[in-house]
Amino acid sequence: MNIIFIDWKCFNHDDTIQTLQALGHQVTLYAHEEFNFPVSKSFVEDFTDFLFGKKVDLVFSYNFFPPVAEACHRNHLSYISVVYDSPYVYLYSYAMMYETNRVYLFDSAWVKELNQGGLSQVTYATLPASTHRSLPSGDTVPERLRADISFVGALYNEAHNFYERMEEKASDELKGYLEGILSAQSLIYGADILKPLMTPDLLAKMHRALPLEPDSTCVEPADYRHLNYVLRRKLTSMERFRYLKTLGEHNRDNDRSIKLFTLEPDTEIPGISNMGIAEYTNEMPLVFANSRINLNITLRSITTGIPLRCMDIMSCGGFLLSNYQQDFSLDSIAPAPGFTEDHPLSTSAFLPGVDYDYFDSPASLLEKTEYYLSHEKERQEIAQNGKQKVETYYSLTAFLQRILPS
């Protein structure tokens, strides 16, 4: 097929293009400065001109972009998008309604919501990962990128973040109430209590303290921005600090190498070394492959889905210890042939204690990190199982073969 690939700095950019080409497809890159605008007449016109005289079968992008959807609709082209970001306002764009769209989304709860809203062209899909990397280990890897325990991710504690800006004008009553519901939600994974509590009265109070207007080009829920960009991001920050501080306090003598790779280089957590940013393509895979335990603490706007970070960790042969996410247990792909029912690869679901493991409290995090650091063989077996599961069901090759027309 002749595929136009929307060219931007997305994750898995080069690997996806190479995989498409290896599968026999012709790939043409298209870049435009307004590809990610909510509406762009310029993009639609320029893209239409670009198509003139070309035989094109479909357009592909990571994340969904309304101008691309508009241009594909007008030119009767299939538009396949694979969404890995959350929150993501553009999934409520009016352009989502076009029958030319095929949107693959990694959070089953969100897929259900959009399907119930009439968007039948949105389909659940666990995110794919690049699996062909050959990664060095041991002393050949810089010491900075090796650890007993590592966490790669934002802490959302930047100055003047949404929650802090809201606090400046919020009443004591509102601040106390929000602190209470955030604390309650932090005790629960797998069930969302924040959204049911977002009553019109609470939303109005939050809006007065921090006005966030819905995009006029979208039909996003009225509470979407306050819920996801304010409350759930704040909750994620609270949880990531809580879990990391728990590990750091247990590591007062620094007998463990616990490393944080984050955008906030000045953040200090006793017992943990802040290493700054790990670059996605060249450094992050080395961290995953050379950390005995890789932590995932999911951004709370991802209700049930498996974050891309988890797939990247397992694809690199890293041992994954994550908070609980419901979609780990989804068996959404036909079983690979040649495996008995009791074999880990007989199911596309990720099995705890077999392919990865999870924690559900600071106490269980401590318990499991200590256990796996002292049970090296079991930890390595689980890491290898996770890698094989990704290679079998969720490689870029397997994923693209499933979603592209035959």
Q: What is the DSSP string of 163-206?
A: HHHHHTTS-HHHHHHHHHHHHHHHT-SSS--HHHH--HHHHHHH
Contact 322, 299 (CB under 8 A): no
Mean pLDDT (the chain) is 95
Sign of the alpha-carbon torsion through 170, 173, 178, 183 = positive
Q: Note the pLDDT tens digit of each residue in 153-184.
A: 999 998 889 999 999 999 999 999 999 999 99
* Residue 334 falls in which region: left (phi positive, over 0), alpha (psi -120 to 50) or beta: beta
% of the chain surpassing 90 pLDDT: 90
Structure tokens at 394: 């969720």
Alpha-carbon distance 312 to 316, whole Å? 6
Checking if the pLDDT of 35 tops 90, the result is: yes
Band of residue 262 on the pLDDT scale cut at 50, 70, 90: very high
Q: What is the mean predicted confidence (pLDDT) over 245-271? A: 92
Q: Are 2-125 and 138-157+237-394 the same fold in CATH?
A: yes
Contact 108, 326 (CB under 8 A): yes
List CB contacts of 380: < 8 A, sequence separation 6 or more.
319
28 three-class SS: strand
CA distances from 21 to 3, 213, 371 (A): 10, 42, 44
CATH class, 138-157+237-394 region: alpha beta
Q: Nearest CA to 131 among 374, 391, 339, 402?
A: 391
Q: Note the pLDDT tens digit of each residue in 37-87.
A: 999 999 999 999 999 999 999 999 999 999 999 999 999 999 999 999 999
CATH topology of domain 2-125: Rossmann fold (3.40.50)
CA distances from 103 to 79, 95, 100, 115, 282 (A): 8, 12, 10, 11, 29
Contact 62, 87 (CB under 8 A): no
Checking if the pLDDT of 237 tops 80, the result is: yes
Alpha-carbon distance 230 to 154, whole Å? 15
Q: Note the pLDDT tens digit of each residue in 196-205.
A: 999 999 999 9
Q: Nearest CA to 245 among 118, 237, 115?
A: 237
pTM score of the predicted model? 0.96
Structure tokens at 312: 């990247």
Checking if the pLDDT of 190 tops 80, the result is: no
Band of residue 230 on the pLDDT scale cut at 50, 70, 90: very high
List the domain boundaries for the chain. Answer: 2-125, 138-157+237-394, 162-233
120-135 burial, b at 16+ Cβ within 10 Å, e below that, comes to ebbebbbbbbbbeeee
Checking if the pLDDT of 342 tops 90, the result is: no
CA angle, 91 then 92 then 94, to 5°: 110
Structure tokens at 75: 């030119």
